[in-house]
Amino acid sequence: MSTDKKYSAIHYHSYLGLEKILGAQNCRSKELGVEAHEETLFIIVHQVYELWFKQIIHEVDSVMNLFKTNNVDEKNIDIAVLRLERVNEIIKLLIQQIKVLETMTPLDFLDFRSYLFPASGFQSFQFRKLEVMLGLKIEKRIAYTPHKYYHEFDTEQQKQMEHIEASESLFDLVQGWLERTPFLETGDFDFKGKYMEAVKKMLDKEKSAILQSDYLSEQEKEMRLRMNGDTDTFFIHVFDEAYHQKLIEEGKVKLSFKATIAALLIQLYGNEPILQLPCRLLNVITEMDTLLTNWRYSHAQMVMRMLGKKTGTGGSSGFEYLMETVKKHQIFLDFHNISTLLIPRSEVPDLPPTLKRTLGYYYNHI
C-alpha cells in the first residue's frame, strides 16, 4: 500500500535546507591561510540580506500582478497594502542589520577586506532587480563605471534585467491605476476646478494675514510672502498641465499630470470610506521609498566608518557614490511631493451629496 507523498513526514532540518544554508559560510581568509574571526559575521549578514531581498521581490512581484489589469479589484488593494506593509517591516530589519555589522571595527574588516576583490555589493543581482521592478530604470541610475550596471552579471541574468527594464515597473502600474481614478470629474463636481478655487482662497487669506501683521517688518513680510508661494510656484503643477508636462520632459517630474491630480484627490479625501484603502496604498508606498532611502543612508554611513574615503571593492568611489544614490535613487519622490499641494482640511472643497454617497458605504432599505 503506497503512502500519499502529500502527507509524508518531513523533518525541520530538511524542510529548511539547513545543511546547505549552514554550510554556506566559506571564509576566504581561512582558505588563504589565516582565518579572520569577523569574516563569518560579514558573510552571514550579507546572506541574510539576500534572503530578505528574495522575500521582498516575492511580495512586490505579487503586488505588481494585482495591478496588471485595467480593472483593479478593490479587494486586491487591501492585499497589496498588507504585502507592502510586510515589505516595509523587512526593510526596517535591513536597517537594523547594519548595526549588527557595525559591531565589527574598521580594523576587524581590514583583516580580510583584501581577500574580497573584486566582489562587491554592486553585484547583488536581487537588489538591482528589485530597484528596477520598483521603477529605478537605467536612464535614472547613477553610473559608476562606463558599462551598464548589469554588465557583471552572467548572460541569463543580463537577459532578465533587460526584460525587467523593458517591462512596466510598480511605479508605472500604480500611475496607470491612478490615471483611471473615476472621481476626478463626476457630475456637477469638477475636482480640479474646485481645488484651484480653494487654493486661491487659501493663498489670498494667508497673504492678507501677512500684509496686515503689525509685528512683521516690511522685509519680513516680503520674505514670508515669497516663502508662502502663489499659484505660479508650489501649485503650478496642478494649475498648468503644459508646465507639468515640460517638467516630465526635462526629467524633473515623473508622475503624469492626471495621476498627480488623482493622488492629490485621494490624499485630500482619504477619510471617505471608498478612498481609505487607496490612501493607505499611497502612504505605504511612500513609506517604502523613505525606508529604502534610510537604508541607503545608513549603509553609506557604515561604509564611511569602515573605509573612510577608500574606493569600494567593486571600483566605485565608495562613500561618495553611495551618498549620491541616497539623493538621486528615490523612486517615488513625486508621491512625497503631493504633500506640497495639500491644503488645510478647513479649505478642502465639500463633496456634492451624491458623490459623497458614492464614496461611502450604504445600502437601500426596502
Residue 200: give its domain's CATH number.
1.20.58.480
Please state, as a whole number, how many other Cβ atoms lie within 10 Å of the Cβ of residue 130: 21
Whether residue 284 lies inside any domain: the answer is yes
Cell 482662497 found at: 201
Whether residue 10 lies inside any domain: the answer is no
Give the whole-angstrom CA distance, residue 286 versus residue 335. Answer: 6
Cell 504633500 found at: 339
- Closest among 173, 191, 192 to 359, alpha carbons compared: 191
Whether residue 6 lies inside any domain: the answer is no
Give me 96's grid cell: 537594523
Give the whole-angstrom CA distance, residue 87 versus residue 62. Answer: 12
Whether residue 229 lies inside any domain: the answer is yes
The count of domains in the chain is 1
Whether residue 1 lies inside any domain: the answer is no
Tens-digit pLDDT string for the chain (366 aa): 555 666 778 999 999 999 999 999 999 999 998 999 999 999 999 999 999 999 999 999 999 999 998 788 888 999 999 999 999 999 999 999 999 999 999 999 999 998 988 888 889 999 999 999 999 999 999 877 778 888 889 999 999 999 999 999 999 999 999 998 876 666 678 888 889 889 888 888 888 888 888 888 988 888 887 777 665 667 877 778 898 999 999 999 999 999 999 999 999 999 999 999 999 999 999 999 999 999 999 999 999 999 887 765 555 557 888 999 998 999 999 999 999 899 999 999 998 888 888 888 654 444
Range of the domain at 186: 21-358
DSSP string, 231-245: TTTTTHHHH-HHHHH
3-state secondary structure of 115: helix
Contact 260, 244 (CB under 8 A): yes
Whether residue 99 lies inside any domain: the answer is yes
DSSP string, 66-120: HTSSSS--HHHHHHHHHHHHHHHHHHHHHHHHHHHHTTS-HHHHHTTGGGSTT--
Whether residue 79 lies inside any domain: the answer is yes
